[in-house]
Structure 1
Amino acid sequence: MTSATTHAPVSPPTEGTVRLEIAGAIARLTFDRPAARNAMTWRMYEELAAACAAISANPAVRVAVLRGAGGKAFVAGTDIDQFRAFSSGDDGVAYEEKVELYVSALESLKVPTIAVVEGWAVGGGMALANACDFRVATPGARFGVPIARTLGNCLSAANVRRLVGALGVGIVKRMLLLAEMPTAEELPPGYLAIVAPDALDAHVDDLATRLAANAPITVQVSKEMLRRVALDPAPEDAELIRRTYGSADFHEGVDAFMAKRPPQWRGA
Protein backbone atom coordinates (compact mmCIF):
# COMPACT_ATOMS: atom_id res chain seq x y z
CA MET A 1 0.00 0.00 0.00
CA THR A 2 1.12 3.52 -0.60
CA SER A 3 1.75 5.77 2.37
CA ALA A 4 0.71 9.35 2.80
CA THR A 5 0.59 11.76 5.70
CA THR A 6 -2.07 14.40 6.22
CA HIS A 7 -2.09 17.02 8.96
CA ALA A 8 -5.05 18.99 10.27
CA PRO A 9 -4.72 22.79 10.24
CA VAL A 10 -2.58 24.06 13.09
CA SER A 11 -4.67 25.94 15.66
CA PRO A 12 -3.46 28.53 18.14
CA PRO A 13 -1.87 26.73 21.14
CA THR A 14 -4.61 27.82 23.57
CA GLU A 15 -7.31 26.37 21.32
CA GLY A 16 -5.51 23.09 20.69
CA THR A 17 -5.75 20.99 17.57
CA VAL A 18 -6.70 17.53 16.36
CA ARG A 19 -3.87 16.21 14.21
CA LEU A 20 -4.56 13.61 11.54
CA GLU A 21 -1.75 11.47 10.14
CA ILE A 22 -2.38 8.74 7.59
CA ALA A 23 0.25 6.13 6.80
CA GLY A 24 -0.94 3.34 4.55
CA ALA A 25 -4.01 1.66 6.05
CA ILE A 26 -3.78 3.31 9.47
CA ALA A 27 -5.02 6.79 10.37
CA ARG A 28 -3.91 8.34 13.66
CA LEU A 29 -5.81 11.20 15.30
CA THR A 30 -4.15 13.07 18.16
CA PHE A 31 -6.02 15.40 20.51
CA ASP A 32 -3.27 17.93 21.05
CA ARG A 33 -3.84 20.32 23.94
CA PRO A 34 -1.82 18.72 26.73
CA ALA A 35 -1.64 21.85 28.92
CA ALA A 36 -5.42 21.49 29.40
CA ARG A 37 -5.43 17.66 29.46
CA ASN A 38 -6.68 17.83 25.86
CA ALA A 39 -10.02 19.39 26.84
CA MET A 40 -11.94 19.98 23.63
CA THR A 41 -12.51 23.44 22.18
CA TRP A 42 -15.01 24.05 19.40
CA ARG A 43 -12.11 24.27 16.98
CA MET A 44 -10.93 20.82 18.08
CA TYR A 45 -14.42 19.35 17.68
CA GLU A 46 -14.59 20.82 14.17
CA GLU A 47 -11.17 19.40 13.33
CA LEU A 48 -12.29 16.01 14.63
CA ALA A 49 -15.27 16.12 12.27
CA ALA A 50 -12.99 17.14 9.38
CA ALA A 51 -10.62 14.28 10.21
CA CYS A 52 -13.51 11.79 10.22
CA ALA A 53 -14.62 13.08 6.82
CA ALA A 54 -11.08 12.76 5.44
CA ILE A 55 -10.82 9.18 6.69
CA SER A 56 -14.19 8.24 5.19
CA ALA A 57 -13.11 9.70 1.84
CA ASN A 58 -9.85 7.75 1.77
CA PRO A 59 -10.38 4.17 0.55
CA ALA A 60 -6.89 3.14 1.66
CA VAL A 61 -7.66 3.70 5.36
CA ARG A 62 -8.86 0.61 7.20
CA VAL A 63 -8.48 1.56 10.87
CA ALA A 64 -8.23 4.75 12.94
CA VAL A 65 -6.33 5.18 16.21
CA LEU A 66 -7.29 8.05 18.54
CA ARG A 67 -4.97 9.27 21.30
CA GLY A 68 -4.39 12.25 23.56
CA ALA A 69 -1.09 14.14 23.46
CA GLY A 70 1.13 14.28 26.50
CA GLY A 71 0.43 10.87 28.01
CA LYS A 72 -1.67 12.32 30.89
CA ALA A 73 -5.17 12.23 29.40
CA PHE A 74 -7.17 11.04 26.42
CA VAL A 75 -9.59 13.96 26.55
CA ALA A 76 -10.62 15.74 29.77
CA GLY A 77 -14.06 16.84 28.58
CA THR A 78 -15.07 20.06 26.87
CA ASP A 79 -13.27 23.31 27.70
CA ILE A 80 -15.36 24.71 30.58
CA ASP A 81 -14.66 28.30 29.61
CA GLN A 82 -16.94 27.81 26.62
CA PHE A 83 -19.92 27.44 28.99
CA ARG A 84 -19.57 30.98 30.38
CA ALA A 85 -21.61 32.38 27.50
CA PHE A 86 -24.64 30.16 28.25
CA SER A 87 -27.64 32.22 29.36
CA SER A 88 -30.56 29.77 29.17
CA GLY A 89 -31.52 26.12 28.95
CA ASP A 90 -31.82 26.52 25.20
CA ASP A 91 -28.06 27.05 25.07
CA GLY A 92 -27.67 23.62 26.70
CA VAL A 93 -29.97 21.99 24.15
CA ALA A 94 -27.99 23.56 21.30
CA TYR A 95 -24.71 22.46 22.90
CA GLU A 96 -25.79 18.83 23.32
CA GLU A 97 -27.12 18.74 19.76
CA LYS A 98 -23.83 20.10 18.46
CA VAL A 99 -21.73 17.64 20.46
CA GLU A 100 -23.96 14.81 19.25
CA LEU A 101 -23.00 15.65 15.66
CA TYR A 102 -19.32 15.15 16.50
CA VAL A 103 -19.76 12.01 18.61
CA SER A 104 -22.05 10.39 16.04
CA ALA A 105 -19.56 11.25 13.26
CA LEU A 106 -16.94 9.27 15.17
CA GLU A 107 -19.34 6.45 16.01
CA SER A 108 -20.46 6.22 12.37
CA LEU A 109 -16.94 6.19 10.94
CA LYS A 110 -16.85 3.34 8.45
CA VAL A 111 -13.54 1.91 9.67
CA PRO A 112 -12.84 0.40 13.11
CA THR A 113 -11.63 2.86 15.72
CA ILE A 114 -9.27 2.37 18.68
CA ALA A 115 -9.17 4.80 21.63
CA VAL A 116 -5.84 4.80 23.47
CA VAL A 117 -6.47 6.06 27.02
CA GLU A 118 -3.61 7.16 29.24
CA GLY A 119 -4.70 8.90 32.42
CA TRP A 120 -8.19 10.37 32.06
CA ALA A 121 -11.21 10.03 29.77
CA VAL A 122 -13.68 12.46 31.31
CA GLY A 123 -17.03 13.90 30.20
CA GLY A 124 -16.78 14.50 26.47
CA GLY A 125 -13.61 12.41 26.50
CA MET A 126 -15.57 9.51 27.98
CA ALA A 127 -18.19 9.96 25.25
CA LEU A 128 -15.54 9.94 22.52
CA ALA A 129 -13.69 6.92 23.91
CA ASN A 130 -16.99 5.09 24.33
CA ALA A 131 -17.95 5.86 20.72
CA CYS A 132 -14.87 3.99 19.52
CA ASP A 133 -14.97 0.28 18.73
CA PHE A 134 -12.01 -0.69 20.91
CA ARG A 135 -10.33 0.87 23.92
CA VAL A 136 -6.80 0.24 25.16
CA ALA A 137 -5.88 1.76 28.52
CA THR A 138 -2.90 1.92 30.83
CA PRO A 139 -3.29 0.62 34.40
CA GLY A 140 -5.19 3.01 36.62
CA ALA A 141 -6.67 5.04 33.76
CA ARG A 142 -9.92 6.62 34.92
CA PHE A 143 -13.23 6.91 33.10
CA GLY A 144 -16.36 8.84 33.95
CA VAL A 145 -18.74 11.77 33.73
CA PRO A 146 -18.56 13.42 37.19
CA ILE A 147 -20.89 16.29 36.27
CA ALA A 148 -23.02 15.80 39.38
CA ARG A 149 -20.16 17.20 41.47
CA THR A 150 -18.50 19.49 38.93
CA LEU A 151 -20.56 21.46 36.39
CA GLY A 152 -24.10 20.45 37.27
CA ASN A 153 -25.03 19.85 33.65
CA CYS A 154 -26.33 16.63 32.04
CA LEU A 155 -25.80 14.28 29.10
CA SER A 156 -28.03 13.87 26.10
CA ALA A 157 -30.19 10.77 25.84
CA ALA A 158 -28.07 9.61 22.91
CA ASN A 159 -24.90 9.60 24.99
CA VAL A 160 -26.64 7.95 27.94
CA ARG A 161 -27.85 5.25 25.55
CA ARG A 162 -24.33 4.66 24.31
CA LEU A 163 -22.91 4.41 27.83
CA VAL A 164 -25.65 2.07 29.08
CA GLY A 165 -25.27 -0.13 26.01
CA ALA A 166 -21.54 -0.48 26.57
CA LEU A 167 -21.27 -0.52 30.37
CA GLY A 168 -24.69 -1.43 31.76
CA VAL A 169 -27.11 0.76 33.68
CA GLY A 170 -25.54 0.04 37.09
CA ILE A 171 -22.12 1.45 36.25
CA VAL A 172 -23.63 4.41 34.40
CA LYS A 173 -25.74 5.27 37.46
CA ARG A 174 -22.59 5.26 39.57
CA MET A 175 -20.90 7.56 37.05
CA LEU A 176 -23.80 9.99 36.69
CA LEU A 177 -25.50 9.95 40.11
CA LEU A 178 -22.52 9.32 42.40
CA ALA A 179 -20.03 11.06 40.10
CA GLU A 180 -17.65 8.13 40.44
CA MET A 181 -14.60 7.80 38.19
CA PRO A 182 -13.87 4.06 38.00
CA THR A 183 -10.45 2.85 36.99
CA ALA A 184 -9.85 0.72 33.93
CA GLU A 185 -9.59 -2.30 36.24
CA GLU A 186 -13.13 -1.69 37.55
CA LEU A 187 -14.85 -1.64 34.18
CA PRO A 188 -16.52 -4.74 32.67
CA PRO A 189 -14.34 -7.39 31.01
CA GLY A 190 -14.31 -6.87 27.27
CA TYR A 191 -14.88 -3.12 27.45
CA LEU A 192 -11.17 -2.42 27.17
CA ALA A 193 -7.72 -3.96 27.25
CA ILE A 194 -5.34 -2.92 30.02
CA VAL A 195 -1.73 -2.73 28.86
CA ALA A 196 1.44 -1.65 30.68
CA PRO A 197 2.83 1.68 29.42
CA ASP A 198 6.01 0.11 28.03
CA ALA A 199 3.96 -2.32 25.94
CA LEU A 200 1.22 0.13 24.91
CA ASP A 201 2.54 1.19 21.50
CA ALA A 202 3.28 -2.38 20.41
CA HIS A 203 -0.16 -3.58 21.55
CA VAL A 204 -1.98 -0.77 19.71
CA ASP A 205 0.08 -1.31 16.55
CA ASP A 206 -0.65 -5.04 16.63
CA LEU A 207 -4.39 -4.46 17.12
CA ALA A 208 -4.49 -1.91 14.30
CA THR A 209 -2.53 -4.22 11.99
CA ARG A 210 -4.87 -7.13 12.69
CA LEU A 211 -7.94 -5.01 11.99
CA ALA A 212 -6.43 -3.61 8.79
CA ALA A 213 -5.65 -7.12 7.52
CA ASN A 214 -9.26 -8.33 7.61
CA ALA A 215 -11.79 -8.09 4.77
CA PRO A 216 -12.58 -4.35 4.77
CA ILE A 217 -16.12 -4.56 3.43
CA THR A 218 -17.04 -7.29 5.92
CA VAL A 219 -15.56 -5.20 8.74
CA GLN A 220 -17.32 -2.01 7.62
CA VAL A 221 -20.68 -3.71 7.13
CA SER A 222 -20.43 -5.59 10.42
CA LYS A 223 -19.63 -2.35 12.26
CA GLU A 224 -22.60 -0.57 10.68
CA MET A 225 -24.87 -3.54 11.40
CA LEU A 226 -23.87 -3.43 15.08
CA ARG A 227 -24.59 0.31 15.20
CA ARG A 228 -28.04 -0.17 13.67
CA VAL A 229 -28.96 -3.09 15.94
CA ALA A 230 -28.13 -0.92 18.97
CA LEU A 231 -30.82 1.50 17.82
CA ASP A 232 -33.37 -0.96 16.41
CA PRO A 233 -33.48 -4.74 17.00
CA ALA A 234 -34.79 -5.26 13.44
CA PRO A 235 -33.09 -2.63 11.28
CA GLU A 236 -33.03 -2.36 7.51
CA ASP A 237 -30.10 -4.45 6.31
CA ALA A 238 -30.70 -5.43 2.68
CA GLU A 239 -28.33 -2.84 1.21
CA LEU A 240 -25.55 -3.88 3.60
CA ILE A 241 -25.99 -7.55 2.76
CA ARG A 242 -26.17 -6.72 -0.95
CA ARG A 243 -22.98 -4.66 -0.75
CA THR A 244 -21.08 -7.49 0.92
CA TYR A 245 -22.23 -10.43 -1.21
CA GLY A 246 -22.02 -8.35 -4.37
CA SER A 247 -18.41 -7.35 -3.75
CA ALA A 248 -15.33 -8.59 -5.56
CA ASP A 249 -13.84 -9.29 -2.13
CA PHE A 250 -16.55 -11.86 -1.40
CA HIS A 251 -15.73 -13.77 -4.58
CA GLU A 252 -12.03 -13.44 -3.82
CA GLY A 253 -12.63 -14.86 -0.34
CA VAL A 254 -14.49 -17.88 -1.73
CA ASP A 255 -11.85 -18.51 -4.41
CA ALA A 256 -9.00 -18.16 -1.91
CA PHE A 257 -10.68 -20.48 0.58
CA MET A 258 -11.23 -23.16 -2.07
CA ALA A 259 -7.66 -22.77 -3.34
CA LYS A 260 -6.25 -22.84 0.20
CA ARG A 261 -4.41 -19.56 -0.26
CA PRO A 262 -4.53 -16.23 1.61
CA PRO A 263 -7.14 -13.84 0.19
CA GLN A 264 -6.07 -10.55 -1.33
CA TRP A 265 -8.62 -8.02 -0.12
CA ARG A 266 -9.13 -4.91 -2.24
CA GLY A 267 -12.08 -3.29 -0.47
CA ALA A 268 -14.22 -3.51 -3.61
Structure 2
Amino acid sequence: MSGTEREGAVRYRAEGGVAHLTFDRPAARNAMTWRMYEELAEGLARIEADPAIRVAVLRGAGGKAFVAGTDIEQFVGFTGADGVAYETRIDAYVEALERVRVPTLAVVEGLAVGGGLAIANACDLRVATPGARFGVPIARTLGNCLSPANLRRLTATLGLPVVKRMLLLAEMPEAETLAPLGYLAGIAPAEALDATVAQMCDRLLGHAPVTMRVTREMLNALALDPEADGSAGIRACYGSRDFQEGVAAFLGKRPAAWSGT
Protein backbone atom coordinates (compact mmCIF):
# COMPACT_ATOMS: atom_id res chain seq x y z
CA MET A 1 0.00 0.00 0.00
CA SER A 2 1.42 3.39 -0.98
CA GLY A 3 1.76 6.31 1.41
CA THR A 4 -1.08 8.10 -0.32
CA GLU A 5 -3.38 5.08 0.10
CA ARG A 6 -2.49 4.85 3.81
CA GLU A 7 -2.92 8.55 4.50
CA GLY A 8 -5.74 9.15 2.03
CA ALA A 9 -6.36 12.36 0.16
CA VAL A 10 -8.96 15.06 -0.38
CA ARG A 11 -9.31 15.43 -4.14
CA TYR A 12 -10.19 18.82 -5.62
CA ARG A 13 -11.96 19.27 -8.93
CA ALA A 14 -13.67 22.36 -10.32
CA GLU A 15 -16.18 22.28 -13.14
CA GLY A 16 -18.90 24.67 -14.25
CA GLY A 17 -18.65 26.89 -11.19
CA VAL A 18 -18.81 23.92 -8.78
CA ALA A 19 -15.86 22.80 -6.64
CA HIS A 20 -15.90 19.10 -5.78
CA LEU A 21 -14.00 17.99 -2.65
CA THR A 22 -13.80 14.21 -2.41
CA PHE A 23 -12.60 12.38 0.71
CA ASP A 24 -10.62 9.56 -0.85
CA ARG A 25 -9.69 6.75 1.53
CA PRO A 26 -12.37 4.17 0.85
CA ALA A 27 -10.47 1.22 2.37
CA ALA A 28 -10.84 2.98 5.74
CA ARG A 29 -14.32 4.36 5.02
CA ASN A 30 -12.68 7.72 4.37
CA ALA A 31 -11.57 8.14 7.99
CA MET A 32 -9.67 11.41 8.18
CA THR A 33 -5.90 11.57 8.65
CA TRP A 34 -4.03 14.76 9.49
CA ARG A 35 -3.01 14.94 5.84
CA MET A 36 -6.67 14.80 4.75
CA TYR A 37 -7.67 17.55 7.17
CA GLU A 38 -4.87 19.72 5.78
CA GLU A 39 -5.95 19.00 2.21
CA LEU A 40 -9.52 19.90 3.13
CA ALA A 41 -8.24 23.26 4.36
CA GLU A 42 -6.22 23.69 1.15
CA GLY A 43 -9.29 22.92 -0.95
CA LEU A 44 -11.34 25.50 0.95
CA ALA A 45 -8.57 28.06 0.39
CA ARG A 46 -8.69 27.33 -3.35
CA ILE A 47 -12.42 27.99 -3.33
CA GLU A 48 -11.91 31.28 -1.53
CA ALA A 49 -9.31 32.36 -4.10
CA ASP A 50 -11.35 31.47 -7.19
CA PRO A 51 -14.26 33.85 -7.92
CA ALA A 52 -15.53 31.46 -10.60
CA ILE A 53 -16.55 28.96 -7.90
CA ARG A 54 -20.17 29.43 -6.82
CA VAL A 55 -20.95 26.12 -5.06
CA ALA A 56 -18.93 23.45 -3.21
CA VAL A 57 -19.86 19.75 -3.04
CA LEU A 58 -18.27 17.46 -0.43
CA ARG A 59 -18.48 13.69 -0.88
CA GLY A 60 -16.79 10.49 0.19
CA ALA A 61 -15.20 8.12 -2.31
CA GLY A 62 -16.36 4.53 -2.71
CA GLY A 63 -20.07 4.94 -2.01
CA LYS A 64 -19.87 3.32 1.46
CA ALA A 65 -19.16 6.32 3.67
CA PHE A 66 -19.01 10.08 3.67
CA VAL A 67 -16.37 10.21 6.41
CA ALA A 68 -16.14 7.65 9.22
CA GLY A 69 -14.55 10.02 11.72
CA THR A 70 -10.89 10.63 12.42
CA ASP A 71 -8.43 7.75 12.02
CA ILE A 72 -8.33 6.19 15.50
CA GLU A 73 -4.66 5.21 15.25
CA GLN A 74 -3.81 8.90 15.51
CA PHE A 75 -5.14 8.92 19.10
CA VAL A 76 -2.64 6.39 20.48
CA GLY A 77 -0.74 7.91 23.41
CA PHE A 78 -3.01 10.94 23.68
CA THR A 79 -3.02 12.97 26.90
CA GLY A 80 -5.60 15.44 28.13
CA ALA A 81 -3.54 18.28 26.69
CA ASP A 82 -3.37 16.47 23.35
CA GLY A 83 -7.16 16.19 23.41
CA VAL A 84 -7.57 19.93 23.92
CA ALA A 85 -5.15 20.63 21.06
CA TYR A 86 -6.92 18.12 18.81
CA GLU A 87 -10.39 19.58 19.41
CA THR A 88 -9.03 23.09 18.82
CA ARG A 89 -7.50 21.93 15.56
CA ILE A 90 -10.69 20.22 14.40
CA ASP A 91 -12.72 23.30 15.32
CA ALA A 92 -10.50 25.37 13.03
CA TYR A 93 -11.09 23.06 10.06
CA VAL A 94 -14.84 22.91 10.65
CA GLU A 95 -15.05 26.67 11.11
CA ALA A 96 -13.20 27.21 7.81
CA LEU A 97 -15.80 25.04 6.09
CA GLU A 98 -18.63 26.83 7.84
CA ARG A 99 -17.29 30.22 6.74
CA VAL A 100 -16.29 29.43 3.15
CA ARG A 101 -17.89 32.06 0.91
CA VAL A 102 -20.04 29.73 -1.24
CA PRO A 103 -22.96 27.44 -0.38
CA THR A 104 -21.83 23.94 0.56
CA LEU A 105 -23.53 20.61 -0.06
CA ALA A 106 -22.62 17.36 1.70
CA VAL A 107 -23.45 14.18 -0.21
CA VAL A 108 -23.74 11.37 2.35
CA GLU A 109 -23.65 7.72 1.33
CA GLY A 110 -23.34 5.20 4.13
CA LEU A 111 -21.81 6.72 7.25
CA ALA A 112 -21.21 10.24 8.53
CA VAL A 113 -19.64 9.55 11.92
CA GLY A 114 -17.75 11.66 14.45
CA GLY A 115 -15.60 14.10 12.53
CA GLY A 116 -17.54 13.11 9.43
CA LEU A 117 -20.77 14.26 11.05
CA ALA A 118 -19.06 17.50 12.09
CA ILE A 119 -18.05 18.12 8.46
CA ALA A 120 -21.45 17.23 7.00
CA ASN A 121 -23.18 19.26 9.70
CA ALA A 122 -21.09 22.35 8.91
CA CYS A 123 -22.31 22.27 5.30
CA ASP A 124 -25.33 24.35 4.41
CA LEU A 125 -27.24 21.47 2.81
CA ARG A 126 -27.13 17.70 3.01
CA VAL A 127 -28.36 15.04 0.58
CA ALA A 128 -28.23 11.37 1.55
CA THR A 129 -28.95 7.93 0.22
CA PRO A 130 -31.61 5.77 1.93
CA GLY A 131 -30.27 4.18 5.08
CA ALA A 132 -27.34 6.60 5.45
CA ARG A 133 -26.50 6.91 9.13
CA PHE A 134 -25.37 9.90 11.17
CA GLY A 135 -23.91 9.96 14.66
CA VAL A 136 -21.16 10.29 17.23
CA PRO A 137 -21.24 6.99 19.18
CA ILE A 138 -18.22 7.87 21.31
CA ALA A 139 -19.96 6.97 24.58
CA ARG A 140 -19.74 3.29 23.59
CA THR A 141 -16.57 3.41 21.47
CA LEU A 142 -13.70 5.80 22.23
CA GLY A 143 -14.79 7.49 25.44
CA ASN A 144 -13.76 10.95 24.29
CA CYS A 145 -15.99 14.02 23.88
CA LEU A 146 -16.78 16.85 21.49
CA SER A 147 -15.79 20.48 21.82
CA PRO A 148 -18.35 23.08 22.93
CA ALA A 149 -18.20 24.60 19.43
CA ASN A 150 -19.15 21.35 17.73
CA LEU A 151 -21.84 20.65 20.33
CA ARG A 152 -23.25 24.11 19.59
CA ARG A 153 -23.25 23.42 15.85
CA LEU A 154 -24.99 20.06 16.24
CA THR A 155 -27.57 21.48 18.63
CA ALA A 156 -28.31 24.35 16.24
CA THR A 157 -29.06 22.00 13.37
CA LEU A 158 -30.52 18.92 15.06
CA GLY A 159 -31.92 20.27 18.32
CA LEU A 160 -30.89 19.44 21.89
CA PRO A 161 -33.03 16.30 22.38
CA VAL A 162 -31.67 14.63 19.23
CA VAL A 163 -28.08 15.51 20.11
CA LYS A 164 -28.49 14.11 23.62
CA ARG A 165 -29.86 10.85 22.22
CA MET A 166 -27.02 10.66 19.69
CA LEU A 167 -24.34 11.21 22.32
CA LEU A 168 -25.72 9.63 25.49
CA LEU A 169 -27.45 6.63 23.90
CA ALA A 170 -24.87 6.44 21.09
CA GLU A 171 -27.67 6.35 18.54
CA MET A 172 -26.99 6.46 14.81
CA PRO A 173 -30.23 7.70 13.23
CA GLU A 174 -30.84 6.98 9.58
CA ALA A 175 -31.53 9.53 6.86
CA GLU A 176 -35.22 8.66 6.90
CA THR A 177 -35.41 9.67 10.58
CA LEU A 178 -33.57 12.96 10.13
CA ALA A 179 -35.27 14.10 6.92
CA PRO A 180 -38.58 15.06 8.62
CA LEU A 181 -36.57 17.28 10.99
CA GLY A 182 -35.40 19.36 8.03
CA TYR A 183 -31.83 18.19 8.48
CA LEU A 184 -31.61 16.85 4.93
CA ALA A 185 -32.38 18.70 1.71
CA GLY A 186 -33.27 15.37 0.13
CA ILE A 187 -32.94 11.60 0.06
CA ALA A 188 -32.11 9.94 -3.25
CA PRO A 189 -31.33 6.33 -4.18
CA ALA A 190 -27.79 5.67 -5.35
CA GLU A 191 -28.79 5.49 -9.00
CA ALA A 192 -30.41 8.95 -8.83
CA LEU A 193 -27.91 10.60 -6.50
CA ASP A 194 -25.70 12.24 -9.12
CA ALA A 195 -28.72 13.71 -10.90
CA THR A 196 -30.13 15.00 -7.60
CA VAL A 197 -26.82 16.66 -6.69
CA ALA A 198 -26.50 18.20 -10.16
CA GLN A 199 -30.03 19.56 -9.97
CA MET A 200 -29.39 21.12 -6.58
CA CYS A 201 -26.13 22.66 -7.78
CA ASP A 202 -27.92 24.12 -10.79
CA ARG A 203 -30.47 25.76 -8.50
CA LEU A 204 -27.73 27.27 -6.35
CA LEU A 205 -25.79 28.44 -9.42
CA GLY A 206 -28.91 30.27 -10.57
CA HIS A 207 -29.28 32.28 -7.37
CA ALA A 208 -27.69 35.59 -6.35
CA PRO A 209 -24.21 34.86 -4.93
CA VAL A 210 -24.04 38.02 -2.80
CA THR A 211 -27.43 37.32 -1.24
CA MET A 212 -26.40 33.77 -0.35
CA ARG A 213 -23.00 34.84 1.00
CA VAL A 214 -24.38 37.63 3.17
CA THR A 215 -27.22 35.44 4.44
CA ARG A 216 -24.81 32.67 5.42
CA GLU A 217 -22.49 35.15 7.15
CA MET A 218 -25.38 36.62 9.12
CA LEU A 219 -26.64 33.20 10.17
CA ASN A 220 -23.15 32.23 11.36
CA ALA A 221 -22.89 35.48 13.33
CA LEU A 222 -26.33 35.04 14.89
CA ALA A 223 -25.43 31.53 16.03
CA LEU A 224 -22.76 33.10 18.25
CA ASP A 225 -24.53 36.35 19.14
CA PRO A 226 -28.32 36.75 18.81
CA GLU A 227 -27.83 40.53 18.68
CA ALA A 228 -25.07 40.52 16.07
CA ASP A 229 -24.91 43.67 13.95
CA GLY A 230 -25.78 42.87 10.34
CA SER A 231 -25.42 46.38 8.92
CA ALA A 232 -22.21 45.60 7.02
CA GLY A 233 -23.81 42.66 5.28
CA ILE A 234 -26.98 44.60 4.48
CA ARG A 235 -24.88 47.44 3.07
CA ALA A 236 -22.87 45.01 0.94
CA CYS A 237 -25.99 43.34 -0.40
CA TYR A 238 -28.04 46.44 -1.21
CA GLY A 239 -24.94 48.17 -2.56
CA SER A 240 -24.05 45.31 -4.89
CA ARG A 241 -24.30 45.24 -8.66
CA ASP A 242 -26.33 42.07 -8.25
CA PHE A 243 -29.05 43.97 -6.39
CA GLN A 244 -29.21 46.55 -9.18
CA GLU A 245 -29.35 43.74 -11.72
CA GLY A 246 -32.04 41.92 -9.75
CA VAL A 247 -34.30 44.99 -9.63
CA ALA A 248 -33.76 45.69 -13.33
CA ALA A 249 -34.39 42.05 -14.27
CA PHE A 250 -37.55 41.86 -12.17
CA LEU A 251 -38.97 45.04 -13.68
CA GLY A 252 -37.89 43.95 -17.14
CA LYS A 253 -39.50 40.52 -16.65
CA ARG A 254 -36.31 38.68 -17.57
CA PRO A 255 -33.91 36.32 -15.75
CA ALA A 256 -31.22 38.07 -13.75
CA ALA A 257 -27.61 37.71 -14.86
CA TRP A 258 -25.83 37.54 -11.53
CA SER A 259 -22.18 38.57 -11.40
CA GLY A 260 -21.46 37.93 -7.74
CA THR A 261 -20.38 41.55 -7.23
The reply to whether TM is greater than 0.5 is: yes
Distance 1:159 1:118 in 2: 22
Give the aligned residue type for 2:258.
W
List 4+ stretches of structure 1 deviating above 3 A: none
Q: Identity rate of aligned residues, in percent?
A: 65
2:230 maps to: 237
Residue 64 of structure 2 corresponds to residue 72 of structure 1: yes
Alignment of 1:125-136 (within 5 A): 125-136=116-127
Aligned position for 2:39: 47
Q: Judge conservation of contact 1:122–1:143 (CA < 8 Å) in 2.
A: yes
Q: CA deviation at 1:186?
A: 1.3
Tell me, yes or no, if structure 1 residue 224 matches structure 2 residue 217: yes
Q: Which residue of 2 aligns with 1:212?
A: 205
Deviation (angstroms), 1:24: 2.3
**How far is 1:95 from its partner?**
0.3
Instruction: Report how far residue 226 of structure 1 moved.
Output: 1.2
Aligned partner of 1:184 in structure 2 is: 175
Q: Name the counterpart of 1:3.
A: none
Give ranges in structure 1 of 5+ residues lacking alignment.
1-9
Q: Does 1:16 align with 2:16?
A: no
Q: Deviation per CA, 1:143-169: give whole Å up to 9, x if none.
A: 000000100000000000011111111
Residue 23 of structure 2 aligns with an amino acid whose one-letter code is F
Question: In structure 1, the residue corresponding to 2:219 is in which secondary structure?
Answer: helix
Matches of 2:58 and 2:3 in 1, distance apart? 18
The residue matched to 1:13 in structure 2 has which SS?
A: helix
Task: Indicate if the aligned counterparts of 2:113 and 2:134 stay in contact, CA closer than 8 A.
Answer: yes
Aligned-pair distance for 1:85?
3.2
Superposed, 1:45-124 pairs within 5 Å as 45-86=37-78, 88-124=79-115
1:225 Cα deviation after fit: 1.1
> Contact 1:67/1:117 (CA < 8 Å) preserved in 2?
yes
2:225 aligned partner, one-letter code: D
- Aligned-partner Cα distance in 2 for 1:43–1:221: 31
Letter in 2 for 1:130: N
SS in 1 for 2:73: helix
In 1, Cα distance between equivalents of 2:248 and 2:201: 26
The one-character-per-residue Cα deviations of 1:53-102 (angstroms, maximum 9, x if unpaired) are: 1101111111000000000000000000000131x211100000000000
Partners of 1:267 and 1:62 lie apart in 2 by: 9
Preserved contact between residue 148 and residue 179 of structure 1 (Cα < 8 Å): yes
CA distance in 1, matches of 2:187, 2:3: 32
Hey, which of these two has a bigger chunk of helix by percent? 2
Q: Is the 8 A contact 1:74 1:118 kept in 2?
A: yes
2-side partners of 1:16 and 1:58: how far apart?
25
Query: Bigger CA drift: 200-209 or 220-229?
Result: 220-229
Contact 1:11 1:17 in 2 (8 A): no
Of the three residues 138, 146, 164, the one matched with 1:147 is 138
Q: Measure how far apart 1:11 and its partner are.
A: 6.5
Mark the runs of 5 or more structure 2 residues left unpaired by the alignment: none
CA distance in 2, matches of 1:168, 1:247: 35
Report if the CA contact (8 A) 2:158-2:181 is conserved.
no
- Number of residue pairs matched? 258
Structure 2 counterpart of 1:25: 17
CA distance in 2, matches of 1:82, 1:189: 34
Task: For 1:118 and 1:26, locate their aligned partners in 2 and report how far apart those are by CA, in whole Å.
Answer: 20
Report the secondary structure of 1:179's partner residue: coil
